[in-house]
Amino acid sequence: MKLKLSELANIAEVIGAFAVVVSLIYVGVQVNDSNIAVRSASVNDANVAVQEWYLQIGSDQQTSRLFYSALMSDEALPNEDEFQFIMMFHGAFLAFQSSYLMAEEGTIDSDLVDGLTGAILAVKDTPGLRRYWRQRRTTLHPRFVRYVDDLLQVKGETPMEVYRFPKSDEANQ
């Protein structure tokens, strides 16, 4: 049985159309895998940024004491110490802002923002946070600023216990 050239062209057209559909499915799977990889990397990057900040503050006694003193102080510390406190806090808030904005756009899971909320609520009533926020809020993204402003208005108890240290004479007993 001999096929005419027009019949062969029709068969080739069907095979070509099928190949295009298979290629599109393959590309769709690859794009989905790529999106999953990008989201995973974004979550990891957000967590690493905050983790590094906490390790930096918590693993050096002098830095930890300075940050805690500034956080709890009603008055600004001497110039260089206050500057260091503001820069440390700003580093944390830049990491928080990045996570907040990525969650807002759907790059990372919005549940990750709950950790930010808890961290901010834990220190929202400290004088140091209020000083920092008055000074640096204008340098942050407006949507993130609104988010933090709303958190600062939350009434009620905050889980500040994690940041309270016993006085040195209590610790030695």
What digits encode the pLDDT tens for the residues 66-93? 999 999 999 999 999 999 999 999 999 9
| Sign of the dihedral through C-alpha 84, 68, 141, 104 | positive
Are 143 and 101 contacting, i.e. CB atoms less than 8 angstroms apart? yes
What pLDDT does residue 126 have?
92
Q: How far apart are CA 147 and CA 7, in angstroms?
A: 66
Q: Is 60 helix (H, G, I), strand (E, B) or coil?
A: coil
Q: Is 16 helix (H, G, I), strand (E, B) or coil?
A: helix
> How many Cβ atoms from other residues are within 10 Å of residue 150's Cβ?
10
Q: How far apart are CA 88 and CA 125, in angstroms?
A: 18
Q: How far apart are CA 169 and CA 151, in angstroms?
A: 35
Q: How far is CA 91 from CA 29, 30, 66, 98, in A?
A: 38, 36, 15, 11
- pLDDT tens-place string over residues 19-43: 787 787 877 777 766 766 666 676 6
pTM (whole model) above 0.75 = no
Task: Return the DSSP state at 75.
Answer: S
Q: Which two tokens stand for residue 127?
A: 């004088």
The pLDDT confidence band at residue 113, using thresholds 50, 70 and 90, is confident
The pLDDT confidence band at residue 173, using thresholds 50, 70 and 90, is very low
